[in-house]
Amino acid sequence: MAELTAALGADTVSDRTAPAPPATLLTEQEFHEIYRSQGRALWAYLYRLTGNAADADDLLQDSFCRLLATPLATRDESQLRAYLFRIASNVSIDHWRRSGRARREADPPPPTATPDGANAAVLRHDMARTFRELKPQERVLLWLAHVEGSEHREIATTLGLKAASVPVLLFRARRKLAGLLKKRGLGPGER
């Protein structure tokens, strides 16, 4: 958390004890470098969350716009990545709130791959569909915890939860996912 907060601008961090370098906005060149290195991974994350390429595009743009509007005290890539994923999670949650909880996310059309890649494409499609059966908050929780390796406190800040609730929610999300995998025959040992 301390690393992540250090990445934020002076006006957004109040509990800093050591003097930090002045927070400045990203330059165009810095933005292009970050976009090149993180854009694809962030888009993949947003695509997994939303299941929709157009939504993922929009949310990617919003996430980078927010990043560009925030003065940053660091240019460390791992800190920027963590911060960017946190912004993207917030943007996604705002998106879901705006569009309503009842809104059904449309499944992308089933893959029409060549015979060589058919199995992999179908499996990928099933995996994505299974993931979208989880609630948005559960998706973000699982991704941040188990793919990005975020700490519970970071996840709590991102999702507006108490830090103590995160392990419990994570446990429930994992259990729900395990149930879905079992139901669909998609467990790691069954691939």
* Residues in contact with other proteins by the rule CB under 8 A: 28, 31-32, 35-36, 39-40, 43-44, 47-48, 53, 56-57, 60-61, 64-65, 68-69, 108, 123-124, 127-128, 131, 142-143, 146-147, 149, 167-168, 171-175, 177-178, 181, 186-189, 191
| Nearer to other proteins (CB atom), residue 12 or residue 16 | 12
Of the candidates 33, 134, 137, which has an alpha carbon nearest to the alpha carbon of residue 81?
Answer: 33
How near is the Cβ of 127 to other proteins at its closest, in Å? 5
How near is the Cβ of 102 to other proteins at its closest, in Å? 24
How near is the Cβ of 176 to other proteins at its closest, in Å? 9
| Nearer to other proteins (CB atom), residue 149 or residue 160 | 149
Of the candidates 184, 138, 133, which has an alpha carbon nearest to the alpha carbon of residue 161?
Answer: 138
| Nearer to other proteins (CB atom), residue 100 or residue 189 | 189
How near is the Cβ of 19 to other proteins at its closest, in Å? 26
Indicate left, alpha or beta for 55 from its phi (over 0: left) and psi (-120 to 50: alpha): alpha
3-state secondary structure of 24: strand
| Nearer to other proteins (CB atom), residue 48 or residue 93 | 48
3-state secondary structure of 52: coil
| Nearer to other proteins (CB atom), residue 19 or residue 185 | 185
How near is the Cβ of 17 to other proteins at its closest, in Å? 29
Exposed / middle / buried, residue 144 (Cβ in 10 Å: 0-12, 13-18, 19+): buried
Q: Please give the distance of CA 42 from its chain centroid, rounded to a whole number.
A: 7
Residue type at 76 in one-letter notation: D
Of the candidates 3, 17, 137, which has an alpha carbon nearest to the alpha carbon of residue 82?
Answer: 3
